[in-house]
Structure 1
Amino acid sequence: MGLLDNASPAVSKGIVVSVLLGMTAIFVAMCVTVPTGPITGVDADLSAINSGDCAWMLISAAIVLLMTPGVCFFYCGMGHHKNVVSTIMQALLPLAIIPIVWATVGFGLAFGDSVNGSYGIFGSPVKYGLLHNVGAVPEPAFAGTIPLSLFAVFQCAFAIITPALLIGSVADRVNVSSLCIFIGLWHVLVYCPLAHMVWHPTGLIRMFGVIDFAGGTVVHMSSGYAALIAALYLGPSRSAAAHSDMFEMKEPANVPYVVLGTALLFFGWFGFNAGSALAAGTLTALAFINTLAAAASAMLAWVLLDNLRGHKLRATGVCVGLVVGLIAITPAAGFVNTGAAFLIGVIGAVCCSGAQELMERYGNRFITDTSEVFVCHGVSGTVGMICTALFATTSVNEYAIDGAFYGNGIHLGKTLAVLCVLVPWVSIFTWGCLWVTDKVMSLRVSDEELLAGLDVSKHGERAMAIDVLKVHVDALNASSKAGTPASGSDAA
């Protein structure tokens, strides 16, 4: 039981008012903070800025942001029809929370100068706190031809979608209100340090010699393993309410929603991967075609594997296969040739299909991962990082590091060492964020709320009036069997 679970209405309203006042204070501070140096474009040397690069990065940032609604549709379509609205709400929450935390301290923690004594694990929020010193002048250490402000908003889009991904594992039983606390904590303690280690020039993992083009570790592995820990922490969906038929239903709530979500994710992924080139050029084109190649080969491989496993040709299976391929190529998109990209898609599909089979046979007895986040993001992200260490080549990108396939086995060894440290690190800090959140406000909803469905119990609205429709259908069936016409209201 969390401290705030039994708070009186007066205390709850006081907390809400305090949050609103705190937000206002932050925004006022951002308004009156005087930047140091010519960052706004006035009397600044902006000759390095390339308008084509700016245009591409603006488009990329916008379509990466579109991926978050895509996650909403994908997850709500996969879940139970009584939790559609709640799942959408949960996946949208980072869109409200992360930009504020990112502007306040997140961007500095991720891309500020490494703190002395931190060994390149996290940056200092001082330089970029409240977006101080973030303006029109480029920062060559990150992207030399676009404004630093544009780089910051592009990276913010990555920071938004990452917690949205992990929420899918517990969407059917988590308290939406408590997620507001967890998302902020997890962003500061897990995502930002990981982004610093992988992408900052003095970050620990980057200095160690392990490369990640577009977020295989930062986004997908972090969200995938965090999703597994969250599912373990909250326990299975089945509880004292297990007698209800809603917990036995395996069928997705809305398959067209899954397909729509996949389409939005597929579209956004080209900004996700090709945008990570941080310019419009040949590397962008390489990442673009590699993304398409891996998605195509993984989708086809998944369909064939589904057939071997005795499944019919399912639209949801095709969608999962596509997403698995997109995830697997993410860390390698700008470091491998197109043949390797096709191969990575197939490898990702084989590994994730095997992981899904193991979860269905054994894992689901102990853990409920509602939207198979761990299989898709955790396993595929790990496969993608290993494949990057195998197939990366300097022949397509001078900033890459040749992989084991090209004679550099040390790169593979370093990557495996990083993975062995990274997974426990993400897991421990995620568990800590869950524990702290749970002490403040309970993470798991009650059995009564589970039975009613989170749409009604938490939000007071349904995605569709499906229960009313069922009444009409039952009445029509009953009247048909009795040989009497249904009433006008029932017929309607």
Structure 2
Amino acid sequence: MDTGNTAFLIICTALVLMMTPALAFFYGGLVRAKSVISMMMLSFGSMAIVGVLWIVYGYAIAFPALDSSSFYGIPGVFGIDLAHIGLENLLVIPEGASVPPLVFAAFQATFAIITVALISGAIADRAKFGAWMVFAGVWATLVYFPVASWIFNFTVVDGEMTSGGWLVYNVGALDFAGGTAVEINSGAAALALALVLGKRIGFAKGVHKPHNVPFVLLGAGLLWFGWFGFNAGSAVAADGIAAIALINTMAAGASGIIGWLIIERFKDGKATSVGAASGAVAGLVAITPSCAYLTPTWALVLGLLTGVLCALAVELKFTFGFDDSLDVVGIHLVGGLIGTLFLGFFATEVGLIYSGSFEQLGKQAIAAFSVLIYSFVMSFAIGWVIDKTMGFRVRNEDELAGIDLVMHGEESYDY
């Protein structure tokens, strides 16, 4: 066992798990004071339900027969051979790192958790907690676990990848850390749920303002901190690939802030702190699929471009009339699409500017829109069934009063 790489992956797992409470702060600061507990609980609920389901069967669905042995899933649940819980059975990836499969399973669990939690931002101030928990469990089972297998799954024999997720191994798309499985997947689901639940009461530009901007900045900063584990950890080894992912994560987040603030300055005359936080997240979203395949210069370009385009994209909800409360669609779906398609032009060696061919762009488009369409259709169907059976949205009077007391019997602040 490579103890260095194992320790590296354990640290990255902790960093990525922290991203979900960080997201709770980011989202919680953006909603009304009387809905902040409800908003943050959607993230913590995701940690609970997805964490359990991942151990019970999620890992087995996403990573069937990960190595050449009879190991399926986590031993003791869907595991075929309990002997494989021992350290003598190591997960060896093409780069040569050897780590215990259970560490890799824990690392991937944190991806599943944050992906589900991201969706909740589209339904702020109006969703029932119980309905959300049902949605989170069903969506993880029918959407995230299969899509994760399309992207992240692999089988290695004698140090060579022999098979894997069809979008990466068969189609040939590049997605290092989850631009499709995490960002596009959650963004498409968020759009579907926003349509199912409908608009908040009084939905209009400028009506719903953040109640706690310092929460937003704290959440964004912790998300960025955790994102280093998200991207660099996807190398599953403390090596040169992790190093390029690390510096590109820094670069895109930083230039994403600049891009967003430029648009704010021209549109509204002021550069805001919420805009800075949103720009950082937009840049980080875009670099997620591409962090190992770009030079740092192109990472800066990608972050700047994404900051500009996402700052414009978040206004589309007012144009088209869907209430994506906390701009999950405008940041994660749009940012994920930009980062995934950007590789078709600028990925080292295979992008258009290096190869002179649009072939990689076509592969990226197939992966991006396959996940987008599947996630949107399935999410809409799951949300619609829940809404028509147990009800997904709170009563109008509860929404107006603030749903923290109704849903959880608590208040964020002692007035």
Q: CA deviation at 1:422?
A: 2.5
Q: CA deviation at 1:208?
A: 0.8
Corresponding residue of 1:232: 195
Checking the alignment, whether the CA contact within 8 Å between 1:112 and 1:128 is kept in structure 2 is no
Corresponding residue of 1:250: 208
Corresponding residue of 2:224: 266
Checking the alignment, whether the CA contact within 8 Å between 1:328 and 1:344 is kept in structure 2 is yes
Give identity over the alignment, percent: 37
Corresponding residue of 1:448: 397
Moved more, 416-425 or 72-81: 416-425
Corresponding residue of 1:66: 18
User: Under a length normalisation based on structure 1, what TM-score does the superposition of the two structures give?
Assistant: 0.77
Q: What is the 5 A alignment of 1:17-166?
A: 49-113=1-65, 128=74, 130=77, 132=79, 133=81, 135=85, 136=87, 137-140=89-92, 144-166=97-119
Return the letter of the residue paired with 1:167.
Answer: S
User: Under a length normalisation based on structure 2, what TM-score does the superposition of the two structures give?
Assistant: 0.90
Checking the alignment, whether the CA contact within 8 Å between 2:115 and 2:183 is kept in structure 1 is yes
The number of residues matched between the two structures is 394
Q: Deviations over 1:132-154 (max 9, x none)?
A: 25633222258741110000000
Give the CA RMSD over aligned residues. 2.1
Secondary structure, aligned partner of 1:367: coil
Q: Deviations over 1:197-229 (max 9, x none)?
A: 112232210111001000100101101110011
- Aligned partners of 1:140, 1:287: CA distance in 2, in Å? 20
Return the letter of the residue paired with 1:338.
Answer: P
Q: What is the 5 A alignment of 1:388-467?
A: 388-394=343-349, 402-407=350-355, 408-465=357-414
Corresponding residue of 2:280: 322
- Determine if the alignment matches structure 1 residue 341 to structure 2 residue 296: no
Q: CA deviation at 1:125?
A: 10
Shift in alpha-carbon separation, 1:156–1:380, aligned structure 2, 3 A = same
Checking the alignment, whether the CA contact within 8 Å between 1:80 and 1:246 is kept in structure 2 is no
Q: Deviations over 1:424-449 (max 9, x none)?
A: 21111111221232344211111121
- Aligned partners of 1:58, 1:419: CA distance in 2, in Å? 29
Shift in alpha-carbon separation, 1:168–1:125, aligned structure 2, 3 A = farther
Q: CA deviation at 1:308?
A: 1.1
- Aligned partners of 2:127, 2:353: CA distance in 1, in Å? 44
- Determine if the alignment matches structure 1 residue 296 to structure 2 residue 249: no
Secondary structure, aligned partner of 1:57: helix
In the alignment, structure 1 segments of 5+ residues that lack a partner are 1-48, 115-123, 395-401, 469-492
Corresponding residue of 2:177: 214
Checking the alignment, whether the CA contact within 8 Å between 1:105 and 1:125 is kept in structure 2 is no
Checking the alignment, whether the CA contact within 8 Å between 2:199 and 2:323 is kept in structure 1 is yes
- Determine if the alignment matches structure 1 residue 182 to structure 2 residue 135: yes
Checking the alignment, whether the CA contact within 8 Å between 2:317 and 2:323 is kept in structure 1 is no
Who wins on radius of gyration, i.e. which is larger? Answer: 1
Secondary structure, aligned partner of 2:98: coil
Checking the alignment, whether the CA contact within 8 Å between 2:262 and 2:308 is kept in structure 1 is no
- Aligned partners of 1:278, 1:68: CA distance in 2, in Å? 21
Return the letter of the residue paired with 1:299.
Answer: I
Secondary structure, aligned partner of 1:332: coil
Corresponding residue of 2:238: 280
- Aligned partners of 1:126, 1:257: CA distance in 2, in Å? 41
Moved more, 316-325 or 248-257: 248-257
Q: CA deviation at 1:126?
A: 5.5
Checking the alignment, whether the CA contact within 8 Å between 1:328 and 1:384 is kept in structure 2 is yes
- Aligned partners of 2:16, 2:366: CA distance in 1, in Å? 30
